């Protein structure tokens, strides 16, 4: 039984825990939602241009709260995934799955 009558974050956590259990997942599912404020205990970047979003997504899957705003999106390609940029550089899908493609992602 899933009780979603409580607070929104608790309900989201219950849904994630249920999916993780039912699908036998190692980590919890990760989702994005938009809010007016960043939680005090949230992990995130200190500013733009200084990090990849993927380690923070993994931290979220392990149960940490992660938050971003328009001034703390990490590298430009990191801003694409949460929907803050409408472009991503060519070859990033190769880089994320295989590493640096000589002549393309250097």
DSSP letter string, 11-41: HHHHHHHHHHHHTT-SS--------SS--TT
Residue 57 token pair: 């997504």
pLDDT at 54: 82
Q: How many whole angstroms separate alpha carbon 104 and alpha carbon 106?
A: 6
Q: How much is the pLDDT for 84?
A: 75
Looking at residue 41, its pLDDT comes to: 86
pLDDT for 2:
40
The predicted structure's pLDDT at residue 73: 79
Here the tokens at position 53 are 């979003």
| Torsion angle (degrees, nearest 10) of CA 103, 74, 80, 29 | 110
Per-residue pLDDT of the chain (106 residues; tens, 9 = 90+): 444 444 566 676 787 788 888 888 888 888 777 788 888 888 888 777 778 888 888 898 888 888 888 778 777 777 776 777 777 777 777 777 777 767 655 4
pLDDT attached to residue 9: 61
Question: What is the reported pLDDT for 90?
Answer: 75
Question: What distance in Å separates the CA atoms of residue 72 and residue 86, rounded to the nearest whole number?
Answer: 17
Smallest CA-to-CA distance from 65 within 20, 31, 36 is with 31
Domain-by-domain residue ranges, the chain?
31-98
* Cα distance between residue 48 and residue 46, in whole Å: 7
The model carries a pTM of 0.62
pLDDT of residue 1: 41
């Amino acid at each position: 039984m899933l009780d979603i009558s409580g607070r929104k974050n608790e309900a989201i956590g219950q849904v994630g825990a249920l999916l993780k259990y039912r699908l036998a997942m190692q980590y919890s599912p990760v989702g994005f939602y938009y809010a007016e404020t960043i939680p005090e205990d949230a992990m995130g970047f200190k500013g733009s241009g200084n990090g990849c979003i993927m380690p923070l997504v993994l931290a979220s899957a392990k149960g940490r709260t992660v938050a971003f705003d328009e001034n703390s999106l990490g590298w430009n390609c990191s801003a694409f995934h949460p929907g803050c940029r409408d472009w991503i550089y060519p070859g990033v899908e190769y880089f994320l799955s295989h590493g640096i493609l000589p002549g393309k992602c250097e």
